[in-house]
Structure 1
Amino acid sequence: MLSALLAMHLAAGAVALGLGSKLGHRAFAVAALAPVATVGFALSQASDVLSGSPVMTSSPWVPTLGLTLDLRLDAFALLMVALVSGVGTVVFGYAWHYFAGSRRAGRAAGLLVLFSGAMLGVVLADNVLALYGFWELTSITSFLLIGLDDRDGGSRGAAMHALLVTGAGALAMLGGLVILGHEAGTFRLSEILASPPSGTAVSAAVVLVLIGAFAKSAQYPFHSWLPGAMVAPTPISAYLHSAAMVKAGVYLIARLAPAFASVPVWRPLVVTVGLVTMIAGGLRALRPWDLKQLLAFGTISQLGFMTVLVGIGLPEATVAGCALLVAHALFKATLFMVVGIVDHGLHTRDIRSVPRLGAAWRPTQLTGLVAAASMAAVPPMAGFVAKESAYGALVQGSPGQRLVLGAIVAGSVLTVAYSARIAAALVRPDLLVPAGQNLSGDDGPPVGAVRTDHAPGIGFLAFPAVLAVLTLGIGLVSAPWSRLVDGAARSLDERAHAHLVVWHGFTPALALSVLTLAGGVGLFVARGRVARVQRRFAVGFTGTDGYDAVVRGVLAGAARVTSIVQSGSLPVYLLVIVTTLVVAPTVALVSGGWPGTAALTATPAEIPVAGLLVGAGVAATLSKRRFGAALLLGLTGYAMALLFVVLGAPDLALTQVACETLSVVVFLLVLRMLPERFEHSTPAVRVVPRLVLSVAVGLFCVGLTVAAAGSRTANPVSDEMVDRARPDGHGNNVVNVVLVDIRGMDTLGEVTVLVTAGIGVAALARAGRRPPPRRPWTAGHPDGLPRAGRRRRTESVPDVDGVSS
């Protein structure tokens, strides 16, 4: 059934893309069928899965390479499916209204459901190679979604930015997954986690996998692609950057943390990157005027927070991380959709341009305020429950854990401050820009006046309102949410236990929550001073600048390497190829030991024939005349034919003689057009290396042949051909039986190629002899031009305007 769900997403995407031009925005109804069915299946299996009975399916793909489509729905996967498909269903409904009248609606619907299926594959995959395949599919589909407006250069650039950063991280991750699978002796994820390998190779593999996860979840320094991706339409941002794509890296870290947190490099790397991302993203979120940019940097900060919680390897922190995964998906998707409604109705996202909205906008404002309050961890929202759980997980820990807690509190203060910015932008945007001054933004001048009378319809607002009600409801009635989070955390770490409620009493965690809210409000009140401090200590080099510098460096380096390697000299190319061909296998043979020995000759009669062959070859290289060199080269072929006769293969000898005779004739016909002697003499300093290399190639071929013959472990298949030629092929000539019967299809293919080439050559030869066609109006004129049109031919010279005349 799990495979059927993935196939359903593929089918829905194909229908939406194929019929998108006819369906328009109704394509989202077709596309939504797949996530709706997935939610229904997840609900039907929830009781068993949360009780510890995962749903598993396995389909062979390339078993010899360890490639099988193993899918596993355990409690943590169930939580992720609820986010991917549950929030996805709401976003599809929202997109129905958002894309009404858009010519890109069908394409957006098809790509969005294909992305949903790829993301579903990531969270269900139980084979690390299959996981990588789905991982890359999410990168490709997100590239197409971010660049949905393919006529806009900014959209194309942002899409390429996201693809390059996440794709490069994925390549590193692939190397790490392959190493893990090799060290564990299996590529099945559940088996790797049940019995994790250890050693230096595993440490290297862990670093590589974490690089891929960091790039996918926009962790510093791989974060720059996420703000640029805000050029995508708001429904795409609401889905990819709240509940789906950016959660893939956090998901993978959460999966691996219980098994690999004891690896020495794991905790320092994960915690450091997560904390830096949380604080740096929070600081950057205090600056933009564009609401989507503000949400983008807020998302980066929250992803850093989640990375720390799920990656630190503590069971209590794992519970908090799972809770925050759910809470973040709800409030961030809501905020993105509310910003989309504002943009859709007022045609601006610039805080400086948003007026104080009238009474018709009150439901929209209320929806956004609930989501912003949850992001700021205001009780009794789901965000508060998750954050207090995180505080409680670390407050009683070791000194190092309390240091981490202090950094989290600092990042959470910033979260409250930028949440207040969003709330003020929806209710009193004039508070953020007193007297029209730009205090903390850096996104350019404000746009012109906007209308305030275009309030959203109830259908448009209903979808973000549903998520806002959920973020409030699960905070107040937390039992179902607590059970889901408890099951998910236990499937990751058996020691975990969730007890999510709004009120735990007067605890140190509650005191930290109050301190966080007070600090964030104070930071918002002092936003003018904070903005001036930020401007004073602002770093001119941004993440996007770093990305651009890396891309320019790679292109410049590639051009330099290409100019060196691709010099345009065919002898140099041949020298490199032949040297590599000789050196690499020779090193392997010498270092691995000589595999065996074999006789150099079968009969003594081969020795003089071989001497004739070698002598003719050496004489050909020393000849000063072209005709003599061609004849000596032909003599080597005739000596090879004589060798075939000595070895008892007269038919091969006849074929060799025929081919060699034809080659010599062609050589002589061509050489008639060239000087009699070789006119250019090559200096000895250049001849000696070539001579050494040529001798090395010859000795290498001899040695490799002898080594291959001496290391044979079974009888050659040619013996069986000889034995079966007469009874099965009904022929006395083994060669004929091989060509016609044993490898008859190969022979047919070769003959077809030769006949096709012959037909092509004949057609070209006939075309070359055919006179050019004459038109009736050019008849009688030698140059094919009518007399009135004949003129003196001159080269076309452009005039001062650049037009040829």
Structure 2
Amino acid sequence: MTTVLIAHVLAAAVAPLLVRRWGRNAFLALAVVPGAATVWALFQVPAVLDGDAPTESVAWAPEFSLRLGLHMDALGLVMTLIAAGVGAVILVYCARYFEDSEPGLGRFAGVFVAFAAAMLGLVLADDLIQLFVYWELTTVFSYLLIGHSTELKESRRAAMTALTVTTLGGLTMLVGMILLGESAGTYVISEIVAAPPGGTVVNAALVLVMIGAMSKSALFPFSLWLPAAMRAPTPVSGYLHAAAMVKAGVYLVARLTPAFPDALLWQTMALFFGTLTMVLAGWKALRQFDLKLLLAYGTISQLGFLIALLGTGTRAAALAGLAMVVAHSLFKAPLFLLVGVIDHGTGTRDLRELSGLRTSSPTTFWITVLALASMAGLPPTAGFAAKELAFGAYTDGGAADTAVLVAMVAGSVLTVAYSLRFLWGAFAVKEGVPATPMHAPGPLFLAAPALLALLGLLGGPLSSAVDPLLALYADSVPLAPGAYPTHLALWHGFELPLLLSALCVVGGLVLFRYRHGVVWLSNRLAFVEPDRVYRRMLAALDTLALQVTGQTQRGSLPVYLGTILVTTVVAAALPLFAGRLWDAQTPPVRLWDHPVQLIPAVVIILTCLFTLIVRRRLFAVILVGMTGYGCAVLFYLQGAPDLALTQFLVETVSVVVFVLVLRRLPAHFSTPALKGRRLWNLLLGSATGALVASMTYFALAGRQAESISDGYPALAREAGGENIISVLLVDVRAWDTMGEISVLAAAAAGVASLMFVRRRAQPRRTAPGTMAVSVATPPRPTDGQASLDLGGLRTAPERLHIRPQWKGAWLPGAEALPTHRRSVIFEAVSRFLFPVVMVISVYLLFTGHTAVGGGFAGGIVAGLAFIVRYLAGGRYELYATAWVQPGALIGTGLALSTGTALAGAVYGGDILAGAALDLHIPLLGHLHLTSSLVFDTGVYLLVIGLILDILRSLGARVDEQIERDAAHADEEAARTGARRSAEEVAS
């Protein structure tokens, strides 16, 4: 199972490369991965039927009862077949749905396969927290897929709506999962199902989990996001909204119902909201004119049906629910795909504009008939067999079951009606509507929906063959009182369920016959629109936010920082004084270990005081930098050279970044600080510093247990290292480092998003001789440099962008700089410094385990080398030198560190388990390689990517703005001069 997930992740990683090389045909290659997963899952059927379910488990955090576990029982197997099988078919469909010129096609392919991996992980996870992680991954990937057309406002809004609603439900579900896991004493799902806990807390947990499931499966009142998501490309709708994402909530209900079949709140919520959603969404589907929206509301209706069945808590309903899950995937996915075929061939999905497609595209028509027959529950389809079983699950119960049955029959009547509306709207010859011309779809384009629809047709006659697998799950749910085991079959005889099925067909025909009156009535009786309520809530929230921020935030950063510091001082000082901690026995204060330490301390204090009185921003930045260098000297004198080196490097980069930003700010502070303001700043800064120092002192003095740091030297030697700091970062506390580098990646993205409001283009060839760098207004050529405007893409000569010109002149990008901005001395020095500094950075990377250095320090040193080259040659030189995108470096670094962390678990050990390899290389001698070095290399690449991204954002981007402003100023001056000359001539 782990191999299946890794294969999907790797396929997602290489998908953009395959698309770039093969175009849309790359989807055919990508379909092999989920297709192979489907075949593998089919081979597991005998083992699952024999009770030998495949299981994999790796300890993650035993002290918190957390582990990474995968478990494939009957339910997991069925969901795997749906997620992988339908995913493979839709990837084949994508190979003809998209054109090679589709913007962002590589990204779409990668995200689509990554979503399939997350969905497989979700249905196979055997740990609540692990399931939640996969759950949120599907949310994030669905956001990217729904918002694929980034240039469309409606697409972006639909993606944000889906993200907001499902994330809210997911966070609610997380609270419920934690309560459930703590009540059970374990987070292992199979153990919870085997020995379910009870009590009030568990009931509350189940309510929260049900809310999460309802939000994911778009049940009322969370159904608003699914119709909006129809802005997504058709393959997304066919997969996420028919077979995968929306099934996540259904799966969660099915997974936990065997553990809590008698939980009243669980049953009530599933039955009430499920049947209510089924009826309301079905009624709303009858008045839709967009074929895709009609299917969307039909999907919501069917999801309510599934939740109600699987949440009932009886064996018959569980069997019917799982059978309907399979049938729904086999009829709803092809219907969405067929809408894509119609839209491609005609250019519209509006049933008021479609006419006569039955004649112009008979193959499409008959495939649609097969899928709609299963959706309407007509024999001999899988939908008919499942619906018969569903009705039979409530025929022998009491009043509550009767009420549920009535609601389900009403919903089924609506299903038949909107199925007929779809068929009529898409293919009928309509009076007054001209015949719609349609391009004939290719055989591969129709193969995907035809295969799924055919399986839905065969699902009825072959239902007895799949009954043992579905019944294996149903057997985990107890029988209803007085009931007997039921089985999935095409024919159960002339019984009440068959009569109800006939009633549904008749009722649907009647509603369709009077469809115009139904549409009129439904418009008059329209219920409250959840989407309208949601929009008004967002508008009210925006208004409130504007009012609050308008009163509390005036745009003064010093005021914001002062408020934070005052709050910190007050909140922390109260317990300090209330507890009279100074009365406790504390060790004497040692002011210094050596008098030399007093020198940097005095320098730090003086520079802080000078910072209060200077007016030039550059001087203030330099003084702030001096305080950082002073701290580095203190670290070194205290015997921490590694910390001193890191502090020195970070401070250097910080000063450079400050200077880059200052170019767009006035040279002086706007107004001189008043004497009282300076005194207040001094007092506040002193109070904050004294408080932090006091808290640190009392915290160390109040230690009760022996410090774990005493064992760090032994742990470092055990890990084969001598640098305790480096060993801590990449071995002992590697999880902390994982979090820190993730924060760095987020910081880089944040800086870039602030500077590049519009999307930055990837470095691809756009025209002969040019390469796109970012989306912005191109600046005017400088000093004769030719540049080409490609629709808003900032471009530069290809020789400056493709690869470093190692064989050409040094600093080729400097040729684009004006003469007065070039320094011969600096350019000559940079030619010597760049290779030397890069070698030093690599040396720090490789020696960090045993000496001063490490991946973080090495990455900063390499970043400083690029800074030197940028300062010497300008922004074009930056592009020529760092021709790899910063995002690629950041992503590679994160992937390398994460992969190293997970490699131990893949090979049967613990996460972040270390490994070593000893090699003897001729001439070089003995070479000792460790997994920690690979982890540190990831940190190294990420830090380089971070600095490059900052340089592109705050360096090159600001350069571009300065050049554009100067060009505009020159134009304005030229126009002004010409106007004055004309006036003088006229006078």
Whether these two folds match at TM > 0.5 is yes
Cα deviation, residue 12, structure 1: 1.9
Partner of 1:417: 417
Residues 548, 22 of structure 1: alpha-carbon distance in 2 compared, 3 angstrom cutoff: same
Cα deviation, residue 101, structure 1: 4.8
SS at the partner of 1:413?
helix
Letter in 1 for 2:408: I
Partner of 1:735: none
Alignment TM-score, normalising by the size of structure 1: 0.75
* Cα distance in 2, alignment partners of residues 665 and 404 from structure 1: 76
Check whether the contact 2:193–2:256 (CA below 8 A) recurs between aligned residues.
yes
Q: Which of these residues, 441, 444, 451, is aligned with residue 456 of structure 1?
A: 441
Residues 699, 215 of structure 1: alpha-carbon distance in 2 compared, 3 angstrom cutoff: closer
Check whether the contact 1:416–1:516 (CA below 8 A) recurs between aligned residues.
yes
* Cα distance in 1, alignment partners of residues 415 and 390 from structure 2: 15
Residues 471, 752 of structure 1: alpha-carbon distance in 2 compared, 3 angstrom cutoff: closer
Partner of 1:555: 542
Q: Which of these residues, 470, 480, 487, is aligned with residue 465 of structure 2?
A: 480
Q: Structure 1 residue 466 and structure 2 residue 466: aligned? A: no
Q: How does 1:183-582 map to 2 (within 5 A)?
A: 183-357=183-357, 359=359, 361-430=361-430, 450-452=436-438, 454-491=439-476, 497-539=485-527, 542-567=529-554, 573=560, 576-577=563-564, 580-581=567-568
1:575-623 deviation line (CA, Å, top 9, x unaligned): 75456546766898999x9999842575xxx9xxxxxxxxxxxxxxxxx
Partner of 2:766: none
SS at the partner of 2:186?
coil
Letter in 1 for 2:519: A
Partner of 2:3: 4
Check whether the contact 1:306–1:321 (CA below 8 A) recurs between aligned residues.
yes
SS at the partner of 2:361?
helix
1:430-453 deviation line (CA, Å, top 9, x unaligned): 2xxxx55xxxxxxxxx9x86315x
Bigger shift: 242-251 or 661-670? 661-670
Cα deviation, residue 98, structure 1: 2.3
1:701-748 deviation line (CA, Å, top 9, x unaligned): 868855763451237968999xxxxxxx9xxxxxxxxxxx99985999
Check whether the contact 1:489–1:497 (CA below 8 A) recurs between aligned residues.
no
Check whether the contact 2:581–2:698 (CA below 8 A) recurs between aligned residues.
no
Residues 306, 702 of structure 1: alpha-carbon distance in 2 compared, 3 angstrom cutoff: same
* Cα distance in 1, alignment partners of residues 974 and 218 from structure 2: 67
* Cα distance in 1, alignment partners of residues 696 and 72 from structure 2: 52
Q: Structure 1 residue 36 and structure 2 residue 21: aligned? A: no
Partner of 2:597: 655
Residues 493, 106 of structure 1: alpha-carbon distance in 2 compared, 3 angstrom cutoff: farther
Check whether the contact 1:594–1:707 (CA below 8 A) recurs between aligned residues.
no
* Cα distance in 2, alignment partners of residues 90 and 388 from structure 1: 28
Partner of 1:635: none
Residues 309, 796 of structure 1: alpha-carbon distance in 2 compared, 3 angstrom cutoff: farther
Alignment TM-score, normalising by the size of structure 2: 0.62
Aligned residues: 691
Bigger shift: 327-336 or 545-554? 545-554
Letter in 1 for 2:38: V
Check whether the contact 1:367–1:464 (CA below 8 A) recurs between aligned residues.
yes
Residues 563, 470 of structure 1: alpha-carbon distance in 2 compared, 3 angstrom cutoff: same
Residues 713, 494 of structure 1: alpha-carbon distance in 2 compared, 3 angstrom cutoff: farther
SS at the partner of 2:512?
helix
Partner of 1:16: 15
Cα deviation, residue 72, structure 1: 0.9
Check whether the contact 2:282–2:301 (CA below 8 A) recurs between aligned residues.
yes
Letter in 2 for 1:85: A
Residues 135, 594 of structure 1: alpha-carbon distance in 2 compared, 3 angstrom cutoff: farther
Cα deviation, residue 250, structure 1: 0.6
Structural RMSD (CA): 4.5
* Cα distance in 1, alignment partners of residues 60 and 469 from structure 2: 33
Partner of 2:145: 145
Q: How does 1:157-196 map to 2 (within 5 A)?
A: 157-196=157-196
Check whether the contact 1:598–1:709 (CA below 8 A) recurs between aligned residues.
no
SS at the partner of 2:56?
strand
Check whether the contact 1:16–1:30 (CA below 8 A) recurs between aligned residues.
no
SS at the partner of 1:712?
coil
* Cα distance in 2, alignment partners of residues 398 and 586 from structure 1: 65
1:45-73 deviation line (CA, Å, top 9, x unaligned): 10111222210112455656655431111
SS at the partner of 1:260?
coil
Cα deviation, residue 119, structure 1: 0.9
Bigger shift: 345-354 or 64-73? 64-73
* Cα distance in 2, alignment partners of residues 668 and 38 from structure 1: 67
Partner of 1:443: none
Cα deviation, residue 88, structure 1: 2.0
SS at the partner of 1:57?
strand
Residues 662, 24 of structure 1: alpha-carbon distance in 2 compared, 3 angstrom cutoff: closer
Bigger shift: 144-153 or 657-666? 657-666
1:767-787 deviation line (CA, Å, top 9, x unaligned): xxxxxxxxxxxxxxxxxxxxx
* Cα distance in 2, alignment partners of residues 98 and 62 from structure 1: 45
Residues 201, 361 of structure 1: alpha-carbon distance in 2 compared, 3 angstrom cutoff: same
Check whether the contact 2:357–2:436 (CA below 8 A) recurs between aligned residues.
no
- For structure 2, which runs of at least 5 residues remain unmatched after alignment? 617-672, 714-721, 723-847, 872-970, 980-987
Letter in 2 for 1:128: L
Cα deviation, residue 467, structure 1: 2.0
1:480-529 deviation line (CA, Å, top 9, x unaligned): 22122212323566989551112222222222222222212111112122
SS at the partner of 1:395?
coil
> Which of the pair has more CA radius of gyration?
1
Residues 98, 791 of structure 1: alpha-carbon distance in 2 compared, 3 angstrom cutoff: closer
* Cα distance in 1, alignment partners of residues 419 and 173 from structure 2: 34
SS at the partner of 2:68?
strand
Residues 742, 421 of structure 1: alpha-carbon distance in 2 compared, 3 angstrom cutoff: closer
Cα deviation, residue 304, structure 1: 0.6
Check whether the contact 1:20–1:106 (CA below 8 A) recurs between aligned residues.
yes
Cα deviation, residue 479, structure 1: 1.6
* Cα distance in 1, alignment partners of residues 51 and 355 from structure 2: 53
* Cα distance in 2, alignment partners of residues 751 and 46 from structure 1: 52
Q: Which has the higher contact order (CA 8 A, sep 6+)?
A: 1
Partner of 1:709: 701
Letter in 2 for 1:373: A
* Cα distance in 2, alignment partners of residues 492 and 298 from structure 1: 28
* Cα distance in 1, alignment partners of residues 234 and 355 from structure 2: 21
1:746-804 deviation line (CA, Å, top 9, x unaligned): 999999999x99xx99x99xxxxxxxxxxxxxxxxxxxxxxxx999998999xxxxxxx
Letter in 2 for 1:513: S
Check whether the contact 1:354–1:450 (CA below 8 A) recurs between aligned residues.
yes
* Cα distance in 1, alignment partners of residues 688 and 521 from structure 2: 70
Residues 162, 701 of structure 1: alpha-carbon distance in 2 compared, 3 angstrom cutoff: same
Check whether the contact 1:597–1:709 (CA below 8 A) recurs between aligned residues.
no
Cα deviation, residue 287, structure 1: 0.7
Check whether the contact 1:238–1:332 (CA below 8 A) recurs between aligned residues.
yes
Q: Structure 1 residue 51 and structure 2 residue 82: aligned? A: no
Letter in 2 for 1:478: S
Partner of 2:92: 93
* Cα distance in 2, alignment partners of residues 657 and 334 from structure 1: 77
Check whether the contact 2:261–2:477 (CA below 8 A) recurs between aligned residues.
no
Bigger shift: 380-389 or 195-204? 195-204
* Cα distance in 2, alignment partners of residues 183 and 701 from structure 1: 41
1:160-182 deviation line (CA, Å, top 9, x unaligned): 22222222222222232233223
